[in-house]
Every structure is written in structure tokens, then in C-alpha cells.
């Protein structure tokens, strides 16, 4: 490894070293001891700086020896195993379904013991996988923040498939909570949740010895913080610091939820109320000693200013919630629940009061972003079709009474759209600039794609959004025709040349 200059070493079929009757040299040691000795020898020979990936390895034995670990069955070019096998054993043969199932069930191990290896994301057109199934695999890898591995000849991959993988790159360093891990049918969870927030200082990217940006720096940092150590104080059992994506200041805090239909037929999939709950508003400040089990964030991290929107505890969700479906780029609005049985509860304990649902095709996954409508009269970033997080692609965001400036990360070439909330019922005199140059309304520039009601929405008001995202209310809401704001889609091209205004989007309000 050292002579040839390899930085990564993958060792496979390791379980063979501890199979019964495999002919150990020293018959006085157990099979577990033989496996332990083998990994210890390999790590010592490879050295501490080599990234070691274990594959086909007993889980417990490898803790402390490998940097990455295959946590799933082999992926394959089909959804189900391609060769005959018993009906009761579809979980160990190579196929995409098995890879997805194991990646979700072992997601909690990622960034605690090692970086999870979900196997390769297959992009080639030679497989029997359709675009929906490839996008679902990409969604699960992104949500669980496993290692992103590609084995195809990228020069032969279609643009459509390349767009799929580009939407999950780079990885965020945060691992989703699998909400139905112990209640799903057939061992296939369908609900994964992350939170995104601008409340922490972003962990600075680090450079390795070759002055190459280390995209694993943040995930490694927060993974170590979340790991057990004898000399660390006991962590709050409810903390979710490793399940939170850190985004640029000004973007706010929101819930990111993936919904999947693993059936072989179309189905309407629902997200329960609890899955949509925003993070709590308490426990953000370093000097806040009144932290209970609802505090999901680490107190030792730096936080934002006290005048930020989320510090106004009584106002979160006052005007309802934006809901943006990432893969379909559709928007809907749901109201804040104000039922009597929730009186006296804190804003962080209240639900949005609606079931989120969507009709999904077989093996399809959708990623939803649920963000409170701003209580201030400022432009609000809703998301994009550039990165699944709808925030990690943003380098900086500023909003004032005169408009807003969005600076997208410009280290790679990207083409797509950003979606913003304009707190006005009219946008006729609004000016939009991309890269410092004004762009026209419509014709590949910008346009209004949805409205945000003031209080409630009627079927007729939200007919355009009905097919994308539906909201089932527990109670009949008061019908209102008030338009609180507009959702505007802006087409952007990031050239990735690090030029001064590359990736800059300016919105000038009248």
C-alpha cells in the first residue's frame, strides 16, 4: 500500500477468516480472537493514515480498526435478486432493495463507529433499474450520509442519471433519524428525518496533506462529538446534534423528511404529525441553563444572534408552514394547528396539525422540506433543485427590506432553480439578477409558481399544488383568500469557475 501510494484499502470477505473449520494456525484461540488478530495485523501494516474499508466483516470485531464499513448487502442491477432464491430470503442476495434496507437499519452506526458504506450507487443504463429507483437509492444514501461510491464509467452515464447524483453531492455530514425503524413492515423503513439549522457556526473545511478539501471533515467532527468516550460528560439522551445539517446564516431552521413507497404498486404515503415537528426553540444559547429533554442540540456549539427569527418563540409557525417537495420541485402550504388539546404547550411541542401525504410510484422516494413561514417581512429561502438539503448549496444569504442576496457555492458547475418566498402579493416591479445581470420574467428567467395564503387555504386556491403535496387537516379551517406572499422560481447557472459573481442571485423589491 505504501510503496504503490494508495490512500484507500478495501478488504473483503473478512468473515471467511472466522468460519467454523477454516483451519486456524493456532488452535488455542477462538474464531473471534482470530478475526481480531487479523484486523489488528492489517491495520498495523496499512498504517494509521490509510483509509481502511471493511467488507463482509463481523460488525463488532471491526470497531476501532476500520474507517469505513460495508453495512449493506451487495447492491445489484435489479430491484429484487436476479437469480432464484427462497421467498423468505431476499435480504442477503445482491439487489438494490437489500442495499436500501440495510443502509437504513444500520444508519445509527454511521459517524459513530465508522463511515457507513452502503455499496455503490449504480448509475449505468445497462441495469434494469429505472430513474425512480436510482433516485430513491440516492435519497437514502444522502439522508443516512453514507459514503458516496460510484463504480460506473462516468463518461458513459446519461445526463439524467448524472443529475441525480449531482443533487446529493457533496454529502452533508449528518445522519437522519429513521423514525419507523422498529415499526416498519418487511424491515423497510419509509420515514427518515433530518433537521437543518443556521444556529451553529459551520465547521471549517480542512485540507489534507495534498491540500485537497476534506469533505468528511464536518461529519468526522460531529461524529466524534456524538461518540461515547470515558472522559466526556454524559450526553443528553435526547440530543440530536448528529442529525442536524449546518447551513449558512440567515437560512433559518427547518425539518427535512423523506417519504418512500417500497411497494410494487403506486400508493399514497403519509407522514404523521410528529414527523413534521420543528426543532425546539429553547436551549440554543450558551448561557441557557434551563435545558430539558426537548433540547436536541449541543450547548457547547456557537449559536446565532438573539434577534434571529427563531428566538421569537411565540411566533414560530404563526403563518403556517412552507412545504417544498425536492424531487418534483412542487410547493404547498399547511397551516399551524391551534386545537384546544394543545393549549398550554410550547411552540416546539405543537405540531403543524396536518398529515403530509403524496402519491408515490412503486419504489419512489420524495424529500420534503417543512419550514415556518417568516413572521418578518423579508425574503425567505425555500429551497432549490440543486441539492437535496435545500440549503447546503448556499454559501451566504442576506435579506433586508430592500430585497435579498443569495450566493451559491461555486466550486462546481451546476444548473437548476432556486425557490424563494416574497412577502408581497405583487411582484410586477421586482428585479432579479443572476451573476450581476438582470434576467427576464418567464422565458428561462424567473416567475411566480405558487401563492402563500395568509391563514388558511381553500381547495380552489391551492388546486395547482394538490397533485404535488396534499394536506389533511384534523379540523375544518376557516377559508381565506388572503395572499401573504408569492413563491418565485429563479433559474440559475453556476459555472464553477470561482469568479466574483458566479452563483450570485440578487432580488430587488420595489
* Tens digits of residue pLDDT in 435-467: 999 999 988 899 999 999 876 444 444 444 444
* pLDDT score of 216: 56
What pTM, to 2 d.p., does this model score? 0.82
* pLDDT score of 173: 85
| Average pLDDT rounded to a whole number, residues 368-395 | 94
Give yes or no for a contact between 436 and 492, defined as CB atoms under 8 angstroms apart.
Answer: no
| Average pLDDT rounded to a whole number, residues 183-210 | 74
| Average pLDDT rounded to a whole number, residues 344-364 | 65
Low-confidence winner among 119-128, 162-171, 237-246, 371-380 (lowest mean pLDDT): 237-246
Q: How confident is the model at residue 332 (pLDDT cuts 50, 70, 90)?
A: very high
Is 83 or 348 the better-scoring residue by pLDDT?
Answer: 83
Instruction: Assess whether pLDDT exceeds 60 at residue 208.
Output: no
Low-confidence winner among 147-151, 313-317, 389-393, 445-449 (lowest mean pLDDT): 313-317
Best mean pLDDT range from 198-202, 436-440, 474-478:
436-440
| Average pLDDT rounded to a whole number, residues 32-59 | 90
Q: How confident is the model at residue 250 (pLDDT cuts 50, 70, 90)?
A: very high
Query: Buried b / exposed e across 366-375, counting CB within 10 Å, b at 16+?
Result: bbbbbbbbbe
Low-confidence winner among 54-58, 76-80, 292-296, 353-357 (lowest mean pLDDT): 292-296
pLDDT 10s digits, 141-177: 999 998 999 999 999 999 999 999 999 999 988 899 9
Is 51 or 480 the better-scoring residue by pLDDT?
Answer: 51
Reading the block at residue 403, the C-alpha cell is: 430585497
Give yes or no for a contact between 140 and 103, defined as CB atoms under 8 angstroms apart.
Answer: yes
Is 199 or 290 the better-scoring residue by pLDDT?
Answer: 199
Q: Please state whether 275 falls in left (phi above 0), alpha (psi between -120 and 50) or beta.
A: alpha
Q: How many CB atoms lie within 10 A of CB 192?
A: 28
Q: Tell me, letter by letter, the H, E, C secondary structure of 403-430.
A: EEEEEECCCCCEEEEEEEEECCCCCCCC
Q: How many CB atoms lie within 10 A of CB 199?
A: 22
Instruction: Assess whether pLDDT exceeds 50 at residue 401.
Output: yes
Instruction: Assess whether pLDDT exceeds 90 at residue 96.
Output: yes
Is 139 or 31 the better-scoring residue by pLDDT?
Answer: 139
Instruction: Assess whether pLDDT exceeds 70 at residue 369.
Output: yes
Beta bridge partners of 398: 405
Low-confidence winner among 75-89, 244-258, 407-421 (lowest mean pLDDT): 75-89
Q: Residue 474 and residue 339: Cα distance in Å, rounded?
A: 9
Instruction: Assess whether pLDDT exceeds 90 at residue 405.
Output: yes
Instruction: Assess whether pLDDT exceeds 50 at residue 237.
Output: no
Element (H, E) at 143: helix 131-144
Q: Residue 388 and residue 385: Cα distance in Å, rounded?
A: 7
Sequential DSSP letters for 239-256: --GGGEEE--TTS--EEE
pLDDT 10s digits, 486-495: 999 999 999 9
Mean of per-residue pLDDT scores for the chain: 80
pLDDT 10s digits, 408-435: 999 889 999 999 999 988 898 999 999 9
Instruction: Assess whether pLDDT exceeds 60 at residue 98.
Output: yes
Q: How confident is the model at residue 127 (pLDDT cuts 50, 70, 90)?
A: very high
Is 119 or 282 the better-scoring residue by pLDDT?
Answer: 119
Best mean pLDDT range from 155-169, 198-212, 331-345:
155-169
3-state secondary structure of 211: coil
Amino acid at each position: 500500500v505504501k510503496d504503490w501510494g494508495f490512500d484507500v484499502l478495501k478488504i473483503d470477505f473478512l468473515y471467511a477468516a472466522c468460519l467454523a473449520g477454516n483451519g486456524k494456525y493456532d488452535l488455542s484461540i477462538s474464531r473471534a480472537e482470530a478475526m481480531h488478530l487479523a484486523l489488528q495485523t492489517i491495520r498495523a501494516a496499512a498504517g494509521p493514515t490509510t483509509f481502511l474499508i471493511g467488507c463482509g466483516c463481523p460488525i463488532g470485531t471491526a470497531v476501532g480498526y476500520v474507517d469505513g464499513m460495508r453495512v449493506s448487502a451487495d447492491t445489484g442491477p435489479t430491484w429484487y435478486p436476479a437469480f432464484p432464491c427462497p421467498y423468505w430470503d431476499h435480504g442477503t442476495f445482491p439487489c438494490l432493495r437489500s442495499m436500501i434496507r440495510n443502509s437504513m437499519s444500520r444508519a445509527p452506526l454511521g459517524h459513530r463507529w465508522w463511515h457507513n458504506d452502503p455499496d455503490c450507487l449504480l448509475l449505468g443504463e445497462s441495469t434494469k433499474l429505472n430513474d425512480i429507483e436510482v433516485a430513491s437509492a440516492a435519497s437514502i444514501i444522502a439522508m443516512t450520509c453514507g459514503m458516496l461510491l460510484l463504480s460506473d464509467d462516468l463518461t458513459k452515464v446519461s445526463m439524467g442519471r448524472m443529475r441525480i447524483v449531482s443533487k446529493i453531492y457533496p454529502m452533508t455530514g449528518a445522519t437522519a433519524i429513521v423514525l419507523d425503524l422498529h415499526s416498519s413492515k418487511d424491515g423497510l423503513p419509509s420515514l427518515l428525518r433530518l433537521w437543518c439549522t443556521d444556529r451553529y457556526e459551520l465547521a471549517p473545511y480542512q485540507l489534507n496533506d495534498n491540500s485537497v478539501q476534506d469533505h468528511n471533515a464536518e461529519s468526522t467532527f460531529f461524529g466524534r462529538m456524538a461518540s461515547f468516550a470515558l472522559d466526556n460528560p454524559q450526553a443528553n439522551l435526547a440530543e440530536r446534534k448528529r442529525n442536524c445539517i449546518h447551513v449558512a446564516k440567515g437560512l433559518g431552521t427547518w425539518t427535512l423528511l423523506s417519504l418512500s413507497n417500497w411497494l410494487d404498486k403506486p400508493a399514497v404515503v403519509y407522514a404523521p404529525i410528529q414527523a413534521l415537528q420543528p426543532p425546539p426553540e429553547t436551549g440554543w444559547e450558551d448561557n441557557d441553563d434551563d435545558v430539558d429533554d426537548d433540547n436536541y442540540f449541543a450547548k457547547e456549539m456557537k449559536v446565532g444572534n438573539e434577534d434571529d427569527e427563531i428566538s421569537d418563540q411565540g411566533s414560530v409557525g404563526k403563518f403556517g408552514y412552507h412545504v417544498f417537495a425536492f424531487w418534483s420541485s412542487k410547493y404547498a402550504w399547511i397551516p399551524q394547528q391551534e386545537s384546544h388539546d394543545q393549549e398550554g404547550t410550547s411552540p416546539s411541542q405543537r405540531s403543524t396539525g396536518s398529515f403530509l401525504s403524496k402519491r408515490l410510484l412503486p419504489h419512489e422516494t420524495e424529500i420534503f422540506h417543512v419550514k415556518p413561514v417568516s413572521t418578518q417581512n423579508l425574503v425567505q429561502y425555500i429551497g432549490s433543485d440543486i441539492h437535496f438539503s435545500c440549503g447546503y448549496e448556499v454559501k451566504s444569504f442576506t435579506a433586508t427590506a430592500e430585497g435579498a442576496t443569495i450566493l451559491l457555492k461555486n466550486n462546481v458547475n451546476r444548473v437548476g432553480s432556486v425557490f424563494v418566498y416574497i412577502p408581497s402579493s405583487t411582484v410586477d416591479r421586482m428585479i432579479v439578477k443572476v451573476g450581476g445581470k438582470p434576467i427576464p420574467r418567464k422565458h428561462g428567467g424567473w416567475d411566480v409558481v405558487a401563492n402563500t395564503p395568509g391563514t388558511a387555504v381553500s381547495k380552489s386556491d391551492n388546486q395547482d399544488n394538490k397533485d404535488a403535496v396534499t394536506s389533511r387537516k384534523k379540523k375544518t379551517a376557516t377559508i381565506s383568500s388572503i395572499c401573504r406572499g408569492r413563491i418565485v422560481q429563479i433559474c440559475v447557472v453556476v459555472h464553477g469557475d470561482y469568479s466574483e459573481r458566479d452563483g450570485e442571485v440578487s432580488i430587488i423589491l420595489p
